Structure 1
């Protein structure tokens, strides 16, 4: 009898799926309320607050890894991650998010959202708190200054995007603390480049950041609250309580493009450059590079293909551009143009091939840089 029930159930599911395909209907996933610890299905990869110089970056068309097995979702479905760790999801009542930008007002349909992250313009209480702590950095009392310093550092990488906008007011003591705080926060960002994923604690920018499959927008979200129909009933979510919101799934595969600068002193034995791109096993990576690095002691200049007839490091011509996946992956020769499949998952690093005795010799000097254009096509 159990076998008959199983066969019958499978037959019923097959018929239901066939009917669904014929009429093109979609099924919304159940809403989730207070799902603390719920794991994001899409890694963050493009804020790049600690990547290469900003004026050398061309951010990705899409920075998301796509899930071909994602369930169908309602066009109005959104997932909200709150600052207290709570996760709320459901169907929002509005068809689009209104965004004020310096180029005019835009309407972003909910079903075109990848995610959005409120910035300081939508978080007045947080902004006031940070500005108050910065003010205390110049206080006459040593204990007050140190307490404010510790509290700002405790905000961690989320503070990274605010630092450029913080004003020392011409106070030398406040300026000294801000420089030190910046160094400590950047150190946390570097530590966040490990194998567990990149950008898990993204800095808050001044403006609200909205990502679509085609482009990113920075501005101010007009809506201050969202009406959400969740599994437990109708809820009202205030924008100021939202850390991040996304669609929960991504509907189709996208490629990623990014350009970074690789200074002439970027060696794997010391500190390679993190591209802030996390690869998945099987992703196709294409890198094209230009530029010149000058090797002062040798009176020679190297292209990304390296120095001819000047030896090699791990089988790669000295001075050539190379790549590595993760902190312990095999170094891959890149040169001026190379494509490869990621043999493992991890952060993509770039560096310059150079023997240990030259890297660790303080008497050698390198100048110039390479510019590397990276394209990543997700594995099917």
Structure 2
């Protein structure tokens, strides 16, 4: 019987919501989190509702997964680790390479090294993987059947050709990615998530620890950071709308993502923790529905009752993918997971929450300028 649960990154969006649900179910929760200013602001006690939601409710240790002494503070007496701590911006990862590999890969390696060589009680490790490991994902070629296209070429995108094509330039039909789909990430972030997953799923079973990897799609909902300009498209667009700024839709606006509501993501994570059937398996976590980005911007404006220009600019970022949505057959059949919140309902709950928040500084232009200087935003 698992009772004591450690959540790394437990003051983050998924982690804090998960911590509260675990507490409701009677678990003892320890959180290790660095309280990164990029996510929580410079004074988390005032600027981070995520942190405030769990403060004084969990055993909280401010520290880093890259520091051995911090792991040694939190690992004793834990029955399971839910390893969510990570740097998460796809675009940012393409130029902060050392930071992303240090936190995501080295931090995970340090945890596993301690679990293998130390005297700990951990029985299960649930690691947050990502849809980004699929790269451009899974498609159907009209003649060849299932194919996994290479990353899109810069020279094609410069000409405004953003569609995913195969070697013969044949247009392809996008398909949901199943867990058996080819792994070929197109960003540093994706590479680090792939490595995290492989480390956990390789090392844990050798020492009798169950490993579970959850490949999250785009998780959204009330409470997500409105100040981080590097990740979370709903938050980025919302901050621009509330500041009266135009929304710049990259590419041609037809690129799509799978948006999974926070409550559904938490439920899937709990199933991964509690179900024996999850042991030593990887699962997609999503809504299983593709939503294009221009539609997202229009729905946000409608829900806020605020109209700002929505410009489809043709700009693009190196490392971004065109489409990805999840095949949920495996997590449904093995764990009984069915997402409950539609995007229409979820985005309404998200925008209702945003309207109650103060207007935050719009930092998107700064983040894009960083990428432009390095030739990664065009």
Shorter-chain TM-score bucket reads: under 0.3
The structure in which a higher percent of residues are strand is: 1
Larger radius of gyration: 1
- Tell me the TM-score normalised to structure 1 length: 0.27
TM-score, normalising length from structure 2? 0.27
Highest relative contact order (Cα 8 Å, sep 6+), 1 or 2? 1
